[in-house]
Amino acid sequence: MWAAYQSEIHAVECLVKNKADLTIKSSHDLTVIDYPILRGDYIMSFYLYLQKLEVKPAEFYQKEAKRRKRFNKIDYTKLLECLEQKIHPNEVPSFIILKVYKKWNDPVIDPNEPWGKWVKRVANFGDPPMVERDTLDEWQQPQNRFFGKVHCWIHDMNPYPPPHVIKKK
């Protein structure tokens, strides 16, 4: 099980060749094939699947990943479908679920960030929260405040609105 979890394909091949028992369960009630599937390791999962090991449903892996608070960015449904179709590891798509970021029109740093959150963000070297410029009052926009300009320049941003956003009076 350790070799499968660590993606040690040569060690697993040696164990399979020497007729190791691949059906044993760990103290967490997981089999040898469950560990690479949980990690999203398709190459090891594919090799073990070809050894005719039984795979659990995708809901089990999603629940287990959530319980462990790890591996929650893997699309287990797609991974298991590829295993059932026996798609070669060189031809499979990515199983990572990518985070979709909001498309900004005219983003600026949010001046309404509470001090407590600011301290935690700075201590963790986090990025500042962003908002659309037009959601802020005129006096809160960075081009109209000294500290707004300084904050933007520190984060390598232009405090002034782009030409297509400037409103004509």
Choosing from 43, 64, 91, the residue where a domain stops is 91
pLDDT at 76: 92
Place of tokens 């659309």: 132
pLDDT at 66: 87
Choosing from 44, 70, 91, the residue where a domain stops is 91
Does residue 96 form part of some domain?
no
pLDDT, tens only, 79-88: 999 999 999 9
Pairing state of beta strands 107-109 and 130-132?
A: antiparallel
Structural domain including 71 reads 2-91
Tokens of 65: 């990943």
When divided into structural domains, the chain yields a total of 2
pLDDT at 168: 55
Contacts of 61 (CB under 8 A, 6+ apart): 34, 37, 38, 74, 76, 80
* pTM exceeds 0.75 for this model: no
Answer yes or no: do 13 and 81 share one domain.
Answer: yes
Query: DSSP character for 126?
Result: P
Confidence check: pLDDT of 136 > 70: yes
pLDDT, tens only, 99-112: 777 788 888 999 99
Does residue 162 form part of some domain?
yes
Does residue 138 form part of some domain?
yes
pLDDT, tens only, 146-168: 988 998 888 888 888 887 666 65
Does residue 113 form part of some domain?
yes
Answer yes or no: do 38 and 110 share one domain.
Answer: no
Answer yes or no: do 44 and 74 share one domain.
Answer: yes
pLDDT, tens only, 14-58: 999 999 988 888 888 899 999 999 988 999 999 999 999 999 999
Answer yes or no: do 29 and 80 share one domain.
Answer: yes
pLDDT at 161: 85
Answer yes or no: do 17 and 79 share one domain.
Answer: yes
Choosing from 37, 70, 91, the residue where a domain stops is 91
